Every structure is written in structure tokens, then in C-alpha cells.
Structure 1
Amino acid sequence: MSYDAVVLISFGGPERPEDVLPFLANVTRGRNVPPDRLAEVAEHYQHFGGVSPINQQCRDLLAAIRADFAANGLDLPVYWGNRNWHPMLADTVAQLRDDGIRSALGFVTSAYGGYSSCRQYLEDISTARAAVGPDAPRIEKLRQYWDHPGFVEPHADAVANALATLDPGRRDSTRLVFTAHSIPVSMAASAGPQGGRYEAQLRETAALVAERAAPGLPYDLVWQSRSGPPQVPWLEPDVNDHLRALAADGVTSVVVSPIGFVSDHLEVVWDLDTEAAATAKQLGLDYVRAGTPGTDPRFVAMVRELVTERLNPADTAARRRLGTLPAWDTCPTGCCQPARRP
């Protein structure tokens, strides 16, 4: 199979105060999110001037990928389209068509399986292609990369660097806390070929990062950024509740690592740098948040490696993985069902 381009596909975010509510309407369409929760999340964006960091982070990653491709002789143009805000994926697909692209590979800014983190991007691609019409190019999503060295190693180095800022005399009372976006329990446990993959992959990533960054240090996987109706069970514990439990158990110092994310976008800088940091301060915990891959050269090179894997499928030795969970290029039909509606 030949390919003519690569598309960076991301979540999107507002870049002006007046964008915030229309953006959130896109994000929550059909999800029955309570109005007070929408207003609360809108205020988070307004706290930062109505601007999410994610679009600029995508621009930076796009530039880094293009430079890496050029430096390594990979002659494929790289485009960018979002799920929820401009540049919208359908507009990008139309641009691909107008530029004569017939077949492209899609790299999404989510490392994991699951509905919101994988299958929904497949649905986004299908919807965008349908909007463009019969001449829309084919777009195939690249594989999940939760255990790729280019994702794991930047997270591990960030944890090690964060840990180095804490008092070594408190090492015995220091805890490593990994976080990821919570999802409904029914979604996490959905049946089908990839049911339960989101949490399983996150647990494997947590173990891989911890053993490289802080061998022997106790760690936990907890959750953040819950946004659904209060009557629907979501994965727990929430990071703030977990910090309270750790403080009650005598923990004095915490490194929080957002392994569920590839960059420091709003759910990192608000939920962790603002809310969780305030909780830790109230509890008297030493608190430091580890960084995310962003444009780390290893993460950027990983994108190229994932592309060349698909270009040369017979070269199985080139598939770099650190974990043991099954992985595949094409998701099975029926995988990762959305949450059941109440």
C-alpha cells in the first residue's frame, strides 16, 4: 500500500474567549453534560484568557515532524486537522483532496486504545471523509503507541527530573502518581475485541515509566478531568481524592505524571497545575508535576517510525515496543464501544 501524506489529528481547542462555548458545544454534543459542568469548564478556559495551549502545541509538533521527516529523507507532506476546533478535520480532508492526495496515514495525539482515545478518531475520519464526498482521500490511522520507547522514555525522564527536585531525605515517604483522563466505567469495561484496553495499556505504561524513572518507588494510577453526569460511574479515584488519602497515610512528597497525555494542554495545566497543586498545598504535601513528551526529539522520531512501519510492514524488527500487551495496526470491527447512555 502506498501513501501520499501524513495527517496530524488532534482534539483541538479555543484560541479566543468567544471560541470557548462553541468549542465546548462541539466537545459535548450528544453527551448530556450538565449545564453547570459546562459553565465550570468554560471558566477554566477563561482563566487562561480563553486560549487552550493545545493548538499551539500542535503547530509546534507539526513543525518538528516536518523537520524530522526532511532530515531523515521521508518525502511525505504533513497536514493537521482537529476533532473539535479549527482547523477542522473535514476542512483538512478537503485540502488533501484539492492537493491531489489519494491516501494518507493519520497520527493522533492519543497513545491509547478506548473509545474517546482511538475509536472516536476513526469515526472522526469517516465523518470528515463523508462530508468531503466521494473524492475524499483514504486515511488510515497509525497504531496505538502507549509502549513505544519514543513515548515512554520522555515520560520517564520527566519523572526522574521532577523527582530530583524533591528532598531526598523524604524519599521513603515519596509517592509517584500517574494520571489519565477518567472515562465512564461502562466504557472502560466495554465488551468486544479491545474491551478494557484503555486501562490495561495505561497500567502497562505506568509500570514501564516507573521502572525506568524510579525503580522501587511506590506508584499509583489515578484519574482526572471527569466531565459526565454525576449519576454515571466513572473510573476512580480522582487525583485530588487520592492526594488526600496519601497525606492521611503519611506521604510527604508527590510526583504527578500525566501519562495519559502527550502535551501540557488545558487538562494538565488546570486539573494538575492548578487544582491538584492547590489540594497538595492545603495538605502540606511537597508536589511537583512531571512534564509530557511535547516535541521531545524521541517523540517526534516515533511519529516517523510509526509511518515507516506502515510503509514497510514486512520489516517486523523495526517495530519498537517495550510492553507485552497485544498491538495491531487496524482495529477490529466493533472494538471500544462508547459508554452506555443513562
Structure 2
Amino acid sequence: MSALRNTFMHGLKSVQFKQARNFRVGWTCSGAVRLKGRSFLTLKDFNPDEIKHILKVSADLKHRIKHDGQYLPLLRGKSIAMIFEKRSTRTRMSTETGFALLGGHPCFLTPQDIHLGVNESTKDTARVLSSLTDIVLARVYSHSTLEQLDKEASVPIINGLSDLYHPIQILADLLTLQEHYGSLKGLTLSWIGDGNNVLHSFMMSLPKLGVNLRIATPEGYEPDPNVTQEALRLSKQFATELHLFSEPMEAAQGSNVLVTDTWISMGQEEEKKKRLKDFHGYQITMQTGSVAAPDWTFLHCLPRKSEEVDDEVFYSPRSLVFPEAENRKWTIMGLLVCILTDYSPPISQLKL
């Protein structure tokens, strides 16, 4: 009996060992989508199939790890340098916990740890980190810092946020909407607020996925003209609608998704009094939703202030902000897996 038990346990351990070694229970990436080794600075650089592939991998990881309880150390032996010029809850936690969950080692670098471009040049930092890590995520003030890092580094660079774009936030938003509505194509999203980096990333991605975009910003807070010009070109190319307004209720008309963001970003604290005055009337309320589509929902990338959206909307069943926040983790994991491995899900959890 003892010998039989020992034989059984040996066989079980052998199976477990093989499962641990052969954790890539998926297919290698094939076809036109080639993301391995690429940087991720802006969604402008990614076509519809590439964005969809990232979302599919993200949904696959979420399903297999969260719901099926599988262990997938796809990033075992790899490390990421996380440079944070600007503080963050979701970007840090999603990247740090997600990378570790996939078997890798995250290294968090604050301004006190690394004075990027001050104590050491950005060029030198990029070259040093390239020799020590497999990938770098940087959350910075100026988009040009990311471009310089990307130019000098020999490993991929991910934009964790810049003054121009916030692409990893949009991946989470897209996955959240896909999960809620079952499809992205044909949706209309209304942005009501500042013409900022989050909006710019929506403008560089939504037309490619068949989503219409309606934008309301106060005078003087419009999105970047170059981004707007490119978004108009994309809308024409992919046969979607893009409209710009100055009145929130106009922008919300018939929309499926109402979205806003902070009116006062880090570094704009001195403008607070003026900005609050200029954004008067832009708070999203149930009255805003009264002109939207019957199935309207609400998104906010957080942290949220009550002047941007009232409690009635923010904590209502229409609000997807907390699933949206959780999906920051699954989408950054999906993106990292796409950039660092050849993994592709055997069966897509999303029908995009």
C-alpha cells in the first residue's frame, strides 16, 4: 500500500512539474499581429487588430487566473523598471501586482530613487536600465521624456502616463465596455471635461474599433489640434463619427457611455480656482444622463472629485468605475505578456 501511495505521489508530482514547466497552455502568436519587443507610447501606433489582440490576451488572463485559478508564470525570470515622476495608485498597484502574479520581478523607482534627467541623463538611464531589466514603464510629466527613453533604450518602453497620452488607461476602459456591452462596435462615447491625455488616447483608438466619439470641453480646454486632426482622419477612414461641442448636454445626446476625468491634474494646482470656474456646468449628473441612450453607463479613471460627477451617478448601478479600475491590472498584464512573450490565447474570451 505504501509503495502504491509513493508511486501515485511520484506520478502526481511529475504531472505538477510538467504543468509548471509547460505553463504556456496557449498558442504562439501568429498572423499579422506582432507585438513582441515593441514599445507602447501611444495607441496611435497600433492598428485595430493589434489593439484587439491585447484585449483578447487580457481577457484570457483574467479568465484563467481570476476565474479558473490557474498559475501562469509567463514572465518568470523577467523584471520591469517602473519609473514614477508622478504618483499613482492604480498604475503602480496594477503593474506591480500584475507583473509579480505572472512570475516576474517589478522594481519601483520614485523621484527620490532616480532623478530622471537631473541626477543622471535620460539617455544614460535608458541604457543602464536596458542592461538590468527586460522592459521599462515610465509615468512622466513630458511625453518627450518617453520618446527619449525609447530612442536610447534597447528594451521596450511603456507609457504609464504623460502629458500627451495615457494609453494603458484606455485599454482598461475598452475591456470594461466590451465586458458590459458585449461589443464595442457601434457604441457612442461622450467625453465631458478637459481635453487631456486620456481624451487624446480615446481619440487615437475609438475610431479604429468602430466607436463614435462626442466631445464637450470648455473654451480654451479643447484637445490638442494635431491629435484632433489625426482623430478626424481616423474617423473618416473607419467610418465613425467624431463631434466636438462646448455644451455637455449636446455631447451626451444619445450616448452609451459618459466619461469624465479630473479637471485639475498634478502640476495644475495653481490653476484650481480658475479651472473650477471654467468647468462650471460640466458635472455629470442624472440630468446629463437623461438625454443619453437608455443603456448609458459611466466611466472615470480615478481619483474622482465630486465636482466632476455627483454621488448619485458615481455610486449608481450605471457606474463601471470599479470594474474599470480592476481591469487596469488585467490589461497591463495582457500588454506586458504581448510585448515580452509569444503567448496567444487558444480560445478568445472576447468576440471583438
What TM-score, normalized by structure 1, do the two folds share? Answer: 0.40
| Higher Cα Rg, which structure | 2
Instruction: Give the TM-score normalised by structure 2.
Output: 0.39
